[in-house]
Structure 1
Amino acid sequence: MGSMRDRLITVFVGLAIVATTDACTSPSQSHDSAAPSAQVDSLFLHEIRPGAPGCAVGVYRSGEIVLARGYGVASVEDGRPITSRTTFNLGSASKPFTALAALMLEQRGALSMADDVRRWVPELPDYGTPIRVRDLLQHTSGLRDFGTLELLSGRVVSTQAEFLGLVASQRALNFAPGTRHEYSHTDFGVLGVIVQRIVGVPFGEHLQNVMFGPLGMSGSFVDDLGRSALRDRALGHQVLPRGPSVAFPNSHTFGGDNVYASVEDLARWDRNFDQPIVGGAEIMARMLSRPTLPNGDTIPYAYGVRLDTYRGLRTVSRRGHPPGTQTVFMRFPEQRFTVATLCNADDLSAPKLAERVADIYLADVMSLQKPRVTPPKAVAMSPPELTRYAGTYRSIDDPWNVLSTEVRQGVLGEIIPDDAADEVFYPMTPAGDGRFFEIGGTGNVGLYTFRPSASGGPLRLEISWNEGPIELSERVTDAAVWRPSAAALAEYAGTWFSPDLDAGWQLETRGARLVLRRRDRVELTLQPVERDRFLRGFGSDGDVSVRLQFRRDRTGRVSELTVSTLPGENAVRNVQFTRLVAH
């Protein structure tokens, strides 16, 4: 419900938000007459505090560096400054490198896009319909997302062997291969395994030989346990109320992540799109093509890059978000202009900063810029007034999508699941006339508008982030809210096991709550939706919404559990659990 991913450190700002918002002027607006490099400095120095995690930014024209600078520190542990040569984990922005490696193997006849993936990765089950190599490159494989599987299993996947073991345990797909497009981190991880097995050397060594070396990307590497020198690496940071905390890297998987590069090296990568040294013009053009599905729909994202537009200009881009880090590589092919922004704190939005850098350099050829979304003026409301808006709200379009609001200590807020604390209370600032707002960790503005139903029915809630599409929900009447008794919850308690996850879930009652208990993990409360249906958000801010559907046998005893996420990116569907022991 709403835009969860941005709400990493949302803070209640109360009436003070008015003075703060009015006093802050966008650096790009107040320094329009300054040189572009000075405007870029002003932009980043406005966002990054001295001694705090920060960003590196690279600006390129025709593959040549126009600007390459660093701001902030690579680690709060040692205070190393970020420079233009500091390497960052690109996260999912590593995927274009893997795509190019696969296409180069096809070019030399070592691989076919029509190959059954099991030719190279026989550990995967036979799902009936073959998964082709092309399905991995265009996210039409149907493979369940391994990041979500990792969350559900409660285990950390650190190596490619662990990754492959988890993926090979999946007895079913999300959908039949080739029939639809759905982003899954699993696809490029499997593609990385295929590349490594074909070339016969570690994946990182292969990229060094055929890509980094020839392109002159001397500081770039893959952290796949095949390299001991980590060079000048920036560490990610999670920004907490007490300050930034280093997110030390614990993943060495490859194919879909863990390419480290600097903004200086990325200029050479950028140049290869227009002046191909590696792969050749035909392959680079193919990376920018868009395949279609059997129904004729064009696939929006393939070969590791996304084709889009920004302010009327065509773009080719890729983002990444490894723990405590945000990265983006954004090309404007017709202008032969590119921005790379690499940030090592989860409250610094690399994509937004890259767009603002592009605004500085390309304003003359861009369409009119949409005004930045700002929060409305805050007002004061008494606790009795706030209580009118507390309750359970259910999406008009999706009955599984439920949001709960409460008044705590005189403040209205929504209850969001969180792995670290079970749940987090996010205060909502009143703006009058039934309107409230939240400000996300990277500056996104969420507007929550409560309106009476025209027919006199339940109160309605409209949610819009950054003036985007409105999500419409309706308050569930008290009589319609399923509030199971402790005895009713006990029907679901017991030990449940999933062969797909090779993991067990212990469900236990805690008074009027049903909780999920796993070893060395915080107990997670399951939210009742209706009889035999529960909801739980996993991950930071509950950004992976998981639906638990219980089923009963002929005697009415609860005997099966199916777990699924929402359709779309990072999806997992119909993971089966069997009840081993009832309580």
Structure 2
Amino acid sequence: MGKCLNTVSSVALNLTLSLPLFAQRQMGILIQGKTVTAEISAGEKHLYQITLEKDRFAHLNILQKGVDVKVVTYDANGKIAGDFDSPNYTSGPESAALYSSGKGIYILEIQAQSTDREHASYELTLDRVSPKAVQPEGKIDELMAAFDSNQSPGASVAVVSGGRLLFEKGYGMANLEHGIPLRATTPLHVASVTKSFTNYCIFLLEKQGKLKLDDDIRKYVPEVPDFGYKISLRHLAEHSSGMRDYAALRGMARYEIDTREMFFKMLARQHDLNFIPGENCDYSNTGCVLLAEVIQRVSGKSYSRFVKENIFDPLGMNASTVQDDQSMILPGVADSYDRTVDGPKKMYVLGSLVGGTGIISNARDMAIWANHLLHPKDDADIVAKMSTPGKLNDGTRTTFGPGLMVSDHKGHLEIGHSGATGGFKAHVGIFPDDDLAVIVLANTNDIYSRPVARQIAELYFNAPPKRTRPALVSVVPANAVEDPKPAWDKSTLKLVEYTGKYYSDEAATTYSFELIGGQLVIRPGYLSDMTLTPQSRDTFQGAFGGIVEFVRAHDGKVLGCKFTFPRMKNLFFKKLAGGS
């Protein structure tokens, strides 16, 4: 596509020169419906002008081709109006919006955060300029404009307040192959929002006198290894058990852990925890899988049946189900997609593990669930417990309640949960002091469902906010990076002594460490190679913030290494004999 740029007026140029922006490349004025194609390098910034009348909404699409861009918008006075950065990294669409308060020249800044090729580029289109919405319904349409297309996957939205469904609508497509629109009644995977249902069931069983939240998990599931510390059901519910996330272990193991049998085989291999139970907190899917197992063993019913009989049926959530068999026929369920530079690509949800995920529902049913959490009637005690922040051994409160995350958004208390799996994204945000709930369910990988739900909630907030409980204290994540190591002489580093094959009994897998191009590289079979960057003697940085720390014997010989990644700490790999 060709460029379509007008000469920059002296007014626009003077405006941009007055902005506190540096290393900018002036690109001209954008014209609605015309696409601009431009190459960009990492660290470079491109600046565009958009002339808008008073009270206008402008929407822009950016197609990233080998570059991860962040978009910053400025109002007619040169002040930052907003910033936009989707999870698409260096490939696929990015979108941005501008809202004019008066007639003038508005600024769009394209920042290249990183590139993955020499000639990275993007395509930029000002695809919509329209009168700014006044009512909340129209403003939600503006927020969802990036997904409101018959060529794109999308999302469904529902808003509940005062016991009434105030808004529900679908955007984009549920199935691109067959041209099926996504509606508020379209079922989608709600991913980790399932955890709220799992914990609710645990509290129901406690209310029936069949278990106690402070019971040891091994009382009900003796297959859990004895790590030397009591791990209670409460620890599992509040993500303070210290147990490694099976999803993180799956990534290290190089094979799927998608059935109950595979899960328990992996669990039996574990020797260590991330931390002593109750000493810290770190999100772990392992906990709710075990809680689902407890539900089944204590109730004598399958997880899916228990949830149906005790939640779905009583509340009238008739479109909701649990996928506990990946071969199940699921009528009407949306497909999921990854929006790439080459267009949407299908993604898949595989597996039959339930508890941490597994529920399929639609926006309308989730609105019923959210309204129940706002007005729980006979189960008010359960909702109160679920929305009580967890407490660590030292008394510190965390943001993890047993089944509901507890946080503050602009002075408004929020309880709820988010989820993501196989291209599906979900968030159920509940604001008790505002008698408000917002549901966002999506079948596209490039949406941040929680921020979108919060933006929608802001349209309905009471002002000023009411506070019914004190602010929470932040907790240092279990995998937080420690203080920097002392300075060291890099010339003494001998990478060859780290090479060889390493085996982890806990992950049941072997990695090869090799020297390639003067760098230490992990070659984990069919997965992508990982280049390690030395941070100090025996400590290396890997991808996604991972740390690899080598362990030596008293004589200095390398014995093995420990991997620390998000949700998994100190997974040991032993160096095999013959490695050099």
263-272 or 296-305: bigger deviation: 296-305
Amino acid at match of 1:399: P
Q: How many angstroms apart in 1 are the aligned matches of 2:146 and 2:43?
A: 19
Residue in 1 aligned with 2:29? Answer: none
Residue in 1 aligned with 2:512? Answer: 506
Secondary structure of 1:201's partner?
coil
Match of 1:18 among 40, 43, 48: 48
Residue in 1 aligned with 2:392? Answer: 293
Q: How many angstroms apart in 2 are the aligned matches of 1:397 and 1:252?
A: 37
Residue in 1 aligned with 2:224? Answer: 124
Secondary structure of 2:490's partner?
coil
Residue in 2 aligned with 1:564? Answer: 564
Amino acid at match of 2:349: P
Question: How does the TM-score come out when normalised to structure 2?
Answer: 0.73
1:178-211 CA distance string (max 9 Å, x none): 2333322211111111112222232112211211
Distance 1:303 1:16, change over 3 A: same
Q: Does 1:218 align with 2:248?
A: no
Amino acid at match of 1:504: T
Contact 1:205 1:226 in 2 (8 A): no
Residue in 1 aligned with 2:32? Answer: none
Residue in 1 aligned with 2:449? Answer: 350
Secondary structure of 2:459's partner?
helix
Amino acid at match of 1:500: E
Q: Does 1:114 align with 2:214?
A: yes
- Structure 1: unaligned runs, 5 residues or longer: 1-9, 368-394, 402-475
Residue in 2 aligned with 1:431? Answer: none
Secondary structure of 1:491's partner?
helix
Tell me the CA shift for residue 118 of structure 1: 0.9
Contact 1:150 1:157 in 2 (8 A): yes
- Structure 2: unaligned runs, 5 residues or longer: 1-39, 50-59, 61-72, 76-95, 102-129, 467-479
Residue in 1 aligned with 2:406? Answer: 307
Tell me the CA shift for residue 171 of structure 1: 0.4
Which structure 2 residues correspond to residues 182-261 of structure 1 after superposition, within 5 A? 182-225=282-325, 228-261=328-361
Distance 1:572 1:226, change over 3 A: closer
Match of 1:493 among 496, 499, 506: 499
Amino acid at match of 2:228: G
Amino acid at match of 2:553: D
Match of 2:574 among 559, 573, 578: 578
Amino acid at match of 1:528: P
Match of 1:100 among 178, 200, 216: 200
Distance 1:17 1:157, change over 3 A: farther
Tell me the CA shift for residue 484 of structure 1: 7.7
Residue in 1 aligned with 2:127? Answer: none
1:458-483 CA distance string (max 9 Å, x none): xxxxxxxxxxxxxxxxxx9xxx7737
Secondary structure of 2:222's partner?
coil
Q: How many angstroms apart in 2 are the aligned matches of 1:36 and 1:11?
A: 39
Q: How many angstroms apart in 2 are the aligned matches of 1:165 and 1:26?
A: 52
Match of 1:482 among 484, 490, 498: 490
Contact 1:143 1:173 in 2 (8 A): yes
Residue in 1 aligned with 2:547? Answer: 547
Contact 2:339 2:446 in 1 (8 A): yes
Tell me the CA shift for residue 271 of structure 1: 2.2
- Identity among equivalent positions (%) equals 27
Distance 1:363 1:356, change over 3 A: farther
Q: How many angstroms apart in 1 are the aligned matches of 2:406 and 2:338?
A: 30
Distance 1:554 1:310, change over 3 A: closer
Secondary structure of 1:301's partner?
coil
Amino acid at match of 1:555: D
Secondary structure of 1:362's partner?
coil
Contact 1:59 1:339 in 2 (8 A): yes
Contact 2:216 2:230 in 1 (8 A): yes
Residue in 2 aligned with 1:408? Answer: none
Tell me the CA shift for residue 122 of structure 1: 1.3
Distance 1:48 1:138, change over 3 A: same
Residue in 1 aligned with 2:255? Answer: 155
Amino acid at match of 1:152: M
Secondary structure of 2:144's partner?
helix
Residue in 2 aligned with 1:399? Answer: 484
Tell me the CA shift for residue 364 of structure 1: 4.8
Q: How many angstroms apart in 2 are the aligned matches of 1:254 and 1:483?
A: 51
Tell me the CA shift for residue 346 of structure 1: 2.1
Q: How many angstroms apart in 2 are the aligned matches of 1:335 and 1:481?
A: 58
Q: How many angstroms apart in 1 are the aligned matches of 2:43 and 2:449?
A: 24
Distance 1:284 1:71, change over 3 A: same
1:230-254 CA distance string (max 9 Å, x none): 1322233223222221111113221
Match of 2:539 among 533, 536, 547: 533
Contact 1:202 1:226 in 2 (8 A): no
Distance 1:564 1:33, change over 3 A: closer
Amino acid at match of 1:38: G
Which structure 2 residues correspond to residues 253-402 of structure 1 after superposition, within 5 A? 253-276=353-376, 280-362=379-461, 364-365=463-464, 398-399=483-484
Tell me: higher relative CO, structure 1 or 2? Use CA pairs within 8 A at least 6 residues apart: 1
Residue in 2 aligned with 1:426? Answer: none
Tell me the CA shift for residue 16 of structure 1: 4.1
Amino acid at match of 1:563: F
Amino acid at match of 1:185: N
Secondary structure of 2:355's partner?
coil
Amino acid at match of 1:302: G
Amino acid at match of 2:48: V
Q: How many angstroms apart in 1 are the aligned matches of 2:225 and 2:547?
A: 25
Distance 1:85 1:508, change over 3 A: same
Amino acid at match of 2:405: R
Tell me the CA shift for residue 176 of structure 1: 1.7
Contact 2:229 2:276 in 1 (8 A): yes
Distance 1:299 1:511, change over 3 A: closer
Secondary structure of 2:293's partner?
helix
1:408-439 CA distance string (max 9 Å, x none): xxxxxxxxxxxxxxxxxxxxxxxxxxxxxxxx
State the aligned residue count.
Answer: 457
Secondary structure of 2:330's partner?
coil
Tell me the CA shift for residue 400 of structure 1: 7.0
Q: How many angstroms apart in 1 are the aligned matches of 2:178 and 2:511?
A: 40
1:94-150 CA distance string (max 9 Å, x none): 111000000101111221212211122111111122111111111221111222111
Distance 1:226 1:64, change over 3 A: farther
Q: How many angstroms apart in 1 are the aligned matches of 2:524 and 2:505?
A: 16
Question: How does the TM-score come out when normalised to structure 1?
Answer: 0.72
Which structure 2 residues correspond to residues 409-420 of structure 1 after superposition, within 5 A? none
Q: How many angstroms apart in 2 are the aligned matches of 1:522 and 1:94?
A: 31
Q: How many angstroms apart in 2 are the aligned matches of 1:55 and 1:286?
A: 31
